[in-house]
């Protein structure tokens, strides 16, 4: 696409309409451009508050309306971009559950590190079905129209982001990995190391 545009620029004067079309729609559609997959870039989007009261408490939310990432009470937020339809996500569900248990069973981490999942292109039904199928204890959210998926750079599933709180209500990406967790302990160790958060290994 870049070659096509360069070619065009060399041969013809670029019409303002073409430029607007390219800048607006092109940036919306091209993976990795205008997204937030790069490290140290702030990331924010809104999600519907979970209906489950335990999940609301877990995330530190007090209201029932939509909330932004910045409202999650944590120092680190791990986001799994998954899909009910993705064989790797299905295979990895047990490992991600173990990751959640590792965090929850560690007193020094459980308040600081929170884990959520976002079902890319999945409806509420599909997310709930996945949650029930694999007895997932952490909050999962649907992204039926891929709007969040587009915002974060149209990653493949599963994909894991580590976000660290900078300032009062802004999270920046410090970790980004596509594919399997494989070893949840090692995964958590790497993630904590990259975040700079101290783990007392309780």
Partner 1 sequence: MNDIRIIIAGILIFLIGFSESAIAGSAVYGNRLYNPGQLKPVDSRLTVKIGEKAPDFTLPSLSGKPVRLSSFLGEKNVMLTFIPAAWTPVCSDQWPGYNIAKGLFDQYDTSLIGISVDNLPTLFAWTREMGGLWFDVLSDFWPHGSVSSTYGVLRTDGVSERAIFLIDKKGILRFIHVGDINLRPDLGMIVNELKKLN
Q: How far is the CB of 198 from partner 1 (least distance, A)?
A: 31
Element (H, E) at 95: helix 87-104
Contact stretch for partner 1 (CB under 8 A) within 42-50, 60-68, 165-173, 175-183? 175-183
- Does 6 bind partner 1 (CB under 8 A)? Our answer is no
**Which position among 46, 85, 137, 189 is part of the footprint of partner 1 (CB under 8 A)?**
85
> What region, left, alpha or beta, does residue 88 occupy, with left being phi > 0 and alpha being psi -120 to 50 degrees?
alpha
Closest CA to 84 of 139, 134, 127: 127
How is residue 15 annotated by DSSP?
P
Q: How far is the CB of 2 from partner 1 (least distance, A)?
A: 11
- 160 - beta bridge partners? 80, 177
Strand 46-47 versus strand 42-43 pairing type? unpaired
Q: Which is nearer to partner 1, 95 or 123 (CB)?
A: 123
Smallest Cα–Cα separation from 187: which of 87, 97, 91, 60?
97
What distance, in Å, lies between the first and last C-alpha atoms of the chain?
A: 52
162 - beta bridge partners?
78, 175
| Footprint of partner 1 on 9-28 (CB under 8 A) | 12, 14-15, 17-22, 25-26, 28
Least Å from the CB of residue 86 to partner 1: 4
Single out the residue of 36, 43, 49, 81 in contact with partner 1 (rule: CB under 8 A).
Answer: 81
Tokens for 78, please give them. Answer: 């791990």
Shortest Å distance, C-beta 78 to partner 1: 17
In eight-state DSSP terms, residue 26 is I
DSSP state for residue 35 in the 8-state scheme: S
For partner 1, the binding residues in 124-163 under the rule CB under 8 A are 124-126, 129-130, 133, 146, 149-150, 154-159
Task: Rank residues 58 and 130 by Cβ distance to partner 1 and give the closer one.
Answer: 130
Cβ nearer to partner 1, comparing 134 with 197: 134
Query: To the nearest whole angstrom, how small is the minimum distance from the Cβ of residue 195 to partner 1?
Result: 23
- Cβ neighbours, 10 Å, residue 201: 9
Where along the sequence are the contacts to partner 1 (CB under 8 A)?
Answer: 1, 4-5, 8, 12, 14-15, 17-22, 25-26, 28-31, 81, 83-91, 120-121, 123-126, 129-130, 133, 146, 149-150, 154-159, 178-180
């Amino acid at each position: 696409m870049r070659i096509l545009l360069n070619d065009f620029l060399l041969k013809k004067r670029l019409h303002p309409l073409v430029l607007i079309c390219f800048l607006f729609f092109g940036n919306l559609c091209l993976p990795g451009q205008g997204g937030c997959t790069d490290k140290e870039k702030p990331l924010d989007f809104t999600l519907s508050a979970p209906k489950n009261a335990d999940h609301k408490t877990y995330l530190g939310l007090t209201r029932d309306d939509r909330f932004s990432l910045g409202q999650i009470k944590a120092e680190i937020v791990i986001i799994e971009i998954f899909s009910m339809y993705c064989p790797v996500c299905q295979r990895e569900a047990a490992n991600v559950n173990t990751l959640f248990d590792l965090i929850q069973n560690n007193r020094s981490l459980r308040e600081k590190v929170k884990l959520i999942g976002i079902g890319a292109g999945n409806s509420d039904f599909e997310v709930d079905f996945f949650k029930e199928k694999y007895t997932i204890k952490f909050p999962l959210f649907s992204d039926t129209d891929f709007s969040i998926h587009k915002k974060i750079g149209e990653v493949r599933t599963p994909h894991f982001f580590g976000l660290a709180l900078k300032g009062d209500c802004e999270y920046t990406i410090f970790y980004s990995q596509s594919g399997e967790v494989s070893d949840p302990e090692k995964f958590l160790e790497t993630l904590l190391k990259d975040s700079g958060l101290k783990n007392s290994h309780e």
